[in-house]
Chain A
Amino acid sequence: MGEYTNEELQSILIMQGFSGLSLFSVLLLMGLGLALIFGQMGVINMAHGEFMALGAYTVYYCSTLTEKFAPAFGPYYFVAAIALAFVISALLGALVEWLMIRHLYRRPLDTLLATWGLSLILQQSYRSLFGAREVTPTLPEWLMGSFAIKEGLDIPINGVFVLGLSIIVTAFLILFLFRSGFGLRLRATVQNRRMSGAVGINTGKVDRLAFALGCGIAGIAGAAFTTIGSTGPDSGSRYIVDAFLVVVSGGTASLLGCLASAFGIAQAQSILEFFLDGTKGKVATLLVIVLALMIRPQGLFPSKVRGH
């Protein structure tokens, strides 16, 4: 690195740190909903990626409609679109829970198969409904620039935005689970379903809400990704691998584990990518994860109580 000035190296260090941080926020958003659904309900949701894609499509259609009917609303529509992405994905999640998932509780391998089928159905529906081409929404100008702190040091605004969003979602989720009545009922149901039912908790309703919440978070994640990537019928299958990596290496059921593993994977990948090339960086990251799982097969933060 002798050929670069100290100042340049400093800027790169900051930008590189930030790109690790922004990858962390992306992975965290991907993993949260999945970890919630598995951790609390014991359902392995293979269709998680498709719920993310649904969120992304929601933003795309908001963008097209805004351009067509209310161009003046252009700079602001994105925030509303994220909220809508949450609502739509959560509604579909609730529907899916009612139609399919509730018949399969406590049978994790069957939910794996069933939701995998669901993911194929959703992918094909997206292809038929939205077309096979990849799409990308027109993003508001303010989101696309960068904070040019000084010459050679730029922090991408969309990265900051996704980081902020993932912090808000995580904080909201933690508060919700540990400080709200619903969170209390949810945790009670997870610990002892029959007892919870006996004390008057409507466990079926709790399940549906928890599943919908997980799917809604996937929708938010998908909406956030439109700032950095494209959306297509099979985007979901691209997201799902990373999401599973995060959740599995974090200790499937634990939100704290999800947080820690997202951070670890993101930093490992970002550092390795910088010193190796892209493909080697990814391979090295996977090796690190495999090693970590060999040493701790139950993940970083295995939860003491599993939901089944």
Chain B
Amino acid sequence: MKINKLSQFIKLACLAAATATAQAKPPTAEVNTTGLAVTDDTVTVGQLHSATGTMAISETGSIQAEQLAIDQINAAGGVLGRQIKVIKEDGASDWPTFAEKAKKLLVSDKVGTVFGCWTSASRKAVLPIFEKEKGMLYYPTFYEGLEQSKNVIYTGQEATQQIIAGLDWIAKEKDAKTFYLIGSDYIWPRTSAKIARKHIENVLKGKVVGEEFYALGHTQFGSLINKIKLRKPDVIYAIVVGGSNVSFYKQLKAAGITSDKQTLLTISVTEDEVLGIGGENLVGFYSSMKYFQSLDNPNNAAFVKAFKDKYGADSVIGDVTQAAYLGPWLWKAAVEKANSFDIEKIAAASPDIELSTAPEGYVKIHPNHHLWSKTRIGQWGANGQAKVLYESELIEPDPFPKGYQ
């Protein structure tokens, strides 16, 4: 009798468990009507970054952060009850290769979504393919704006979000009137400088006393520094990219331009670059970013701990790395809201998705597929970490700003 009761109980329990799983795991035919690589147990996604070539330095952080998010999602039961499998492709810092691999992921592998790209050039190379083959790309880098696609979710900031709040802060805080703009010579710094100049001249009623661009990899800033000394700007506004940063800040310091005499605000230096520049060469200068590793909130504490546990205590997390981490979580939220893996439905479900667990605090997807985010000002210390001095309200993304083009 007793045994009979027990077996009955077990049967019931099994039945209940089966029903519960069935609820969490809708049949594949229902959630995947377009033939994506989704089975009853797994969903395959693509990761398309440069693991080799000159961009590997920057994209390694993004690859790591996306993998971490995917691992965490899998450990918590996956997406619609399916474990995420990843196909990694290497764009090799070469834009035609990016396009080729994007096509492979979408057409042959039929992946559910793709996390990837870093430079604007690589994104522009894959964009027509994502639109034609109806894929979805989660793109993590802060970038110049002037773009919007139904097939891309932009998890970094666009130019106006990063630039305007930072300039407003520095103008008010330092009573700055004159600005010297200096950048690397390609589309992102040039567009950013254009927006900054418009804002300085039209809104802040300040003056741009110099604007210059140097080739990527340039290492000699002696003449520039002399010009800066001659013009004595209130603020140096720097958009120098990559290894040139090291030369730029070392030479500034050697020429006696340090933070006690000169205000400098940059939008191109994150914790990753500081690792190369050396905190001692940057002490007291400011960065305008949406994320710093030193952000003090419980989400970020957990994120930093998980990242360091997985990739070592010496690893650092920059703005883009955090933005890459958001990708898989935003995708999961969209899939679960749409109750489908179909790209059309994910795109339709994406606007207004919120993520209150984001390390940066809170983000929400705008109908234009960019994120509402806060802009923060960090001041660099000798230890390579930034102290967050200011935090804006949530800023609405505006990739096509009127009056700034």
Contacts and interface: CB of A to CB of B under 8 A. Distances in A.
Interface of A: 4, 8, 11-12, 15-16, 18-20, 22-23, 26, 127, 132-136, 138, 144-146, 148, 152, 154, 156-159, 225, 227-230, 232, 234-235, 238, 269-270, 273-274, 277-279, 281-282
Given A134-B57, A146-B256, A157-B254, A225 B219 contact: yes
Interface string B274-296: 01111010000000000000000
Interface string B203-238: 000000001111101111011111101100000000
9 contacts: A12-B229, A133-B275, A134-B276, A136-B246, A144-B253, A146-B255, A154-B256, A228-B219, A234-B54
B229 A152 contact: yes
A238 B242 CA distance: 13
A279 B278 contact: no
A92 to B, nearest CB: 23
B164 interface: no
Given A238-B217, A279-B215, A132 B57 contact: yes
A159 B223 CA distance: 13
Interface of B: 52, 54, 56-57, 60, 185, 211-215, 217-220, 222-227, 229-230, 242-243, 245-247, 250-251, 253-256, 272, 275-278, 280
A232 B242 CA distance: 11
Contacts of B255: 15, 146, 154, 156
A135 B276 contact: yes
B226 A229 contact: no
B254 A138 contact: no
A148 B229 CA distance: 13
B246 to A, nearest CB: 3
B251 A156 contact: yes
Contacts of B217: 238
B385 to A, nearest CB: 17
A276 B229 CA distance: 16
Contacts of B226: 12, 15-16, 19, 274
Contact of B214 (A152, A154, A278): A278
B229 A232 contact: no
A164 B218 CA distance: 23
Nearest to A157: B254
Contacts of B219: 225, 228-229, 238
A132 B93 CA distance: 13
Given A12-B230, A234-B54, A273 B254 contact: no
B49 to A, nearest CB: 12
Nearest to B229: A152
B222 A270 contact: yes
Contacts of B211: 277
Contact of B247 (A230, A234, A273, A278): A230
Nearest to A155: B255
A278 B193 CA distance: 15
Contacts of A227: 250
Interface centre among A15, A127, A154, A228 (most CB of B within 10 A): A228
Given A16-B226, A19-B222, A146-B255, A278 B215 contact: yes
